[in-house]
């Protein structure tokens, strides 16, 4: 009986959030350990399907860094990074696109298997993501690495209205038809801005933003976007977290209501953030 009452309490707690976010769009950057662990993968996809069934519109942008590195290694191609960005020559770009395409279809298949309606898209489809060449640190040429120039949100709006969960590979199309590899966080932020999403959620392999990077209990639950630059300057936000928070700040400045950095290693992290009073991770607003 106690177990049944607990389930009822959880549903009652979720009700105001279901009402609040009904019909709203939530962009989720899916990456890190949550893509590698089968149980976490199942939990993430279940969260997406549940959201869609209660009237929220999830849009998924996925990464694939470890899989890309693994495939390049198998092919005898060494991975090189400059300032955290993968140096991407034409051979590497072919592998990137192939691996991302495979991962995309795996995510879509799991959504469909769990009762949802997933549809896989590349940023090249219908010029969804138009890109320009991005230079690395000190203007270094890092190959076919792109930054988002323009988003075509109409394709996604059509797909969403038809009841699908779009799953997007972060590659873009250049002015001459060339393919660009785009950072997944950056792509997710740009898509959230173009769709005027209510939330941008980035799944990571850390608890969120920590006041002391060495102390896992020092989680900053809520932070204003205006306070981010000083935390970077002080070295509190560092390394791979910098592009994630910068992406959140840019999304907020572009009209996204709230952004969240969540620990994707926590099962059902998305549901815990969206449907509970306490939430998890760090909210940047």
Written as six digits, the tokens of 266 are 């926590």
Neighbours of 79 (CB within 10 A): 15
Cα angle for residues 131, 176, 104 (degrees, 5° grid) = 50
Q: Which pairing describes strands 165-169 and 118-122: parallel, antiparallel, or unpaired?
A: parallel
> Which of left, alpha, beta for 50 (phi over 0: left; psi -120 to 50: alpha)?
alpha
Contact 152, 126 (CB under 8 A): yes
Specify the DSSP class assigned to residue 75.
T
H/E stretch holding 182: none
Asked whether residue 181 is marked as a ligand-binding residue, the answer is yes
- Cross-strand pairs, 122: 169
Is 32 annotated to bind a ligand? Reply is no
* Per-residue exposure over 91-108, b if at least 16 CB sit within 10 Å of its own CB, e if not: ebbebbbebbeebbebbb
Q: Annotated binding residue at 65?
A: yes
Q: Find out whether 64 is annotated in a ligand binding site.
A: yes
Q: Are 247 and 191 in contact (CB under 8 A)?
A: no
Helix (H, G, I), strand (E, B) or coil at 256: coil
Q: Which residues make beta-bridge pairs with 120?
A: 167
Residues within the annotated binding site?
64-65, 86, 181
Binding residue ranges for substrate: 64-65, 86, 181
């Amino acid at each position: 009986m106690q177990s049944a009452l607990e389930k009822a309490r959880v549903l009652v707690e979720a009700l105001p959030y279901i009402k609040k976010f009904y019909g709203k769009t939530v962009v989720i950057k899916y990456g890190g350990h949550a893509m590698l662990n089968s149980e976490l993968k199942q939990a993430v996809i279940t969260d997406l399907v549940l959201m869609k069934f209660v009237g929220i519109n999830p849009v998924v942008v996925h990464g694939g860094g470890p899989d890309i590195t693994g495939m390049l290694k198998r092919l005898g191609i060494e991975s090189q990074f400059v300032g955290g960005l993968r140096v991407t020559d034409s051979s590497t770009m072919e592998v990137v696109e192939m691996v991302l395409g495979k991962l995309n279809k795996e995510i879509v298949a799991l959504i469909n298997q769990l009762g949802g309606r997933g549809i896989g898209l590349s940023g090249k489809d219908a010029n969804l993501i138009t890109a320009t060449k991005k230079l690395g640190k000190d203007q270094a040429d890092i190959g076919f690495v792109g930054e988002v120039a323009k988003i075509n949100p109409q394709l996604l709006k059509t797909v969403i209205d038809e009841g699908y969960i779009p799953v997007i590979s972060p590659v873009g199309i250049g002015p001459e038809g060339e393919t660009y590899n785009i950072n997944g966080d950056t792509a997710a932020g740009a898509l959230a801005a173009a769709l005027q999403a209510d939330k941008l959620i980035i799944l990571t392999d850390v608890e969120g933003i920590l006041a002391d990077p060495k102390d896992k209990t020092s989680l900053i639950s809520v932070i204003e976007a205006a306070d981010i630059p000083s935390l970077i300057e002080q070295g509190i936000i560092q390394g791979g977290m910098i592009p994630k928070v910068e992406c959140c700040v840019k999304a907020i400045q572009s009209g996204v209501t709230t952004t969240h950095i969540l620990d994707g290693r926590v099962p059902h992290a998305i549901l815990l953030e969206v449907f509970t009073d306490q939430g998890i991770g760090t909210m940047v607003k």
